[in-house]
Amino acid sequence: MGTYSPKIEWAEKWLKDTKSLYIGGKWVDGSGDVLDSVNPATGKVIGHLRCANESDVDRAVDAARKAFDEGPWTSTISHKECGVIMRKLSALIREHVEELATLETMDNGKTFPESCEDVVNVADFFDYYSGWCDKYYGEVNPVMGNFFSYTVREPVGVCGQIIPWNYPMDMAGYKLAPALAMRNVVVIKPSSFTSFSLVRLFEIFHESGLLPEGVINLIVGRGSIGTFITRHPRVDKVAFTGSTAVGRKLVHDSADSNLKTISLELGGKSPNIIFADAPDMDWAIERSFVAMFYGKGEKCSEPTRLLIQKPVYEKVLAGMAERYKTWKVGDPFDPTSNQGAQVSKEHFESIMRYIEIGKAEGGRLVCGGDRNVEGSNADGYFINPTIFADCNNQMRIAREEIFGPVLTVIPFETEEEAIRIANDSPYGLAAGFWTNDVARTQRMSKALQAGQIFINKYGCYEHTSPFGGYKQSGWGMECGNLSLDLYTKRKSIWYAY
Ligand code: NAP
Ligand code: MG
């Protein structure tokens, strides 16, 4: 990845105008109320959003419907041209990494290098799916008799996409790129806590003139506005990333409206299991710490339950406590900061409540457990990396998703016990373990109920490798060729000759 510098002056100027909706190829004022957006590192309002109401969602769906049913996107633009457009969009994203990442850091509180990485990921998604534009099609089916039977793949249609605040850019890439490559049209809603980067991305796409009108539409507003997308009778599909509670509601919305298809990427409480025979214990400790606290703990697949085998239990905890001393929580634009600010006051308060719950439940504090108010941090929502040792899997801090820098540590003796604890969760997003025993890697990979298994390095992600959850962590997998299934439907055709 290149070297990037923040564009704060540019961002402050850009943020002066109230941002609004993008419908049918035009910027339009939302008919709802005006919402402030806050920089969680300073506690200050940085800009405003004019939110959508139900009739704006209707207009956006109508524009998308028209583009899908009548526009050039699905009729005259060839697969090759579609691929070329996607690659040009990718190049534009790469040209604007600094702008997009600056807005992301100001709005979300994550460190600037993290934001840059997220924006580059979006460009990678567009490049990757551009290659699929003309390479995903049907099959000839082997049938008996005088028939020619074949299967074609068609776009799903109008896709609602609802994304969370923790990876606003990255999640937009996950969803927009495969949807467009498979010739769908989109109505997307970012989180009201972090809408600016996507507004800017849409400006860049608009200025490029590359996409026909109505192909991409942007709705801004609070969570409740998402309901009008998920219940809309002319939306064909909704792709959602967010909490399990809202995901559950979406399923009801679909059932109560037109049974639209739903894909869900939801919450997690992922186990990370360190066996005494880990091949390199220092690396296991380093990576377990960083995977947990990088991104300020606001990651769905982070390893929030650390299971340590008893012979190395105190050694690992001592290593984590040592790592804590060199970990810097602070200004997300300061290149020496490792961890920025939690996304919002509400979320910060929720994490602090969980820290109190952990103390009351009898967790032993190894480090952190408090707000960080050093220097300029006092005005923002910073929390020190918090590690609770000597926990058990029945505690609330072991069962509920905290979504902040709070790690729950549980000791274990045998492999069977580790598997039992790891799987004793309503979630099944990811799981990791560290061992030098080849037979154990196979037993564990089979036994763990999770969509991602990380052996000897927790947390590996690539746009080429499918990502998704077991159990209440979601339905369906995104990335790689699996997103193509999410954004196409199959039609089987018989011709009697
Ligand atoms: P959330 O409250 O479920 O919100 C996610 C998105 O849904 C936001 O855009 C939100 O808007 C919107 N929303 C809220 N209520 C809605 C409703 N009734 N109908 C339709 N849309 C609605 O989740 P979050 O707190 O923002 O994000 C954190 C959660 O996302 C965690 O549980 C995390 O594990 C999960 N996550 C999962 C993955 C994955 O790939 N599995 C990745 C990232 C995050 P507002 O924000 O404006 O309210
Ligand atoms: Mg914000």
Pocket test for ligand 1, best of 108, 170, 238, 246 (most atoms within 8 A of CB): 246
Could you tell me if the CB of 267 is within 6 A of ligand 1?
A: yes
- Amino acid letter, 193: F
Residue 479 annotated among the catalytic residues of the structure: no
Q: Are 118 and 350 in contact (CB under 8 A)?
A: no
CA of 166 relative to ligand 1 center, distance in Å: 9
* Residue that the structure tokens 């103390």 belong to: 359
> Could you tell me the sign of the dihedral formed by the alpha carbons of 389, 285, 462, 295, in that order?
positive
Residue 340 to residue 279: CA distance in whole angstroms: 31
Query: Rounded to two decimals, what is the model's pTM?
Result: 0.97
Could you tell me if the CB of 165 is within 6 A of ligand 1?
A: yes
Torsion of CA 247, 250, 254, 255, to 10 degrees: 80
Residue 222 to residue 54: CA distance in whole angstroms: 12
* Residue that the structure tokens 């390199």 belong to: 280
Residue 280 to residue 52: CA distance in whole angstroms: 52
Q: What are residue 153's DSSP bridge partners? A: 490
Sequence-distant (6+) residues with CB within 8 A of 94 are 120, 123
Sequence-distant (6+) residues with CB within 8 A of 207 are none
Of ligand 1's listed atoms, the one at least distance from the Cα of 268 is: 34
- HSE, CB side, 13 Å, CA atoms: give it for residue 100: 31
Tokens coding 92: 């534009």
Question: What is the full per-residue pLDDT of the chain (497 aa) written as tens digits?
Answer: 669 999 999 999 999 999 999 999 999 999 999 999 999 999 999 999 999 999 999 999 999 999 999 999 999 999 999 999 999 999 999 999 999 999 999 999 999 999 999 999 999 999 999 999 999 999 999 999 999 999 999 999 999 999 999 999 999 999 999 999 999 999 999 999 999 999 999 999 999 999 999 999 999 999 999 999 999 999 999 999 999 999 999 999 999 999 999 999 999 999 999 999 999 999 999 999 999 999 999 999 999 999 999 999 999 999 999 999 999 999 999 999 999 999 999 999 999 999 999 999 999 999 999 999 999 999 999 999 999 999 999 999 999 999 999 999 999 999 999 999 999 999 999 999 999 999 999 999 999 999 999 999 999 999 999 999 999 999 999 999 999 999 999 999 999 99
DSSP summary character for residue 239: E
Residue 230 to residue 233: CA distance in whole angstroms: 9
Residue 265 annotated among the catalytic residues of the structure: yes
From the CA of 110, the nearest ligand is 2
CA of 232 relative to ligand 2 center, distance in Å: 28
CA of 224 relative to ligand 1 center, distance in Å: 11
Q: Are 210 and 82 in contact (CB under 8 A)?
A: no
From the CA of 341, the nearest ligand is 2
Tokens coding 389: 């040792």
- Taking alpha carbons only, the member of 236, 306, 241 closest to residue 270 is 306
From the CA of 45, the nearest ligand is 2
Q: Are 477 and 467 in contact (CB under 8 A)?
A: yes
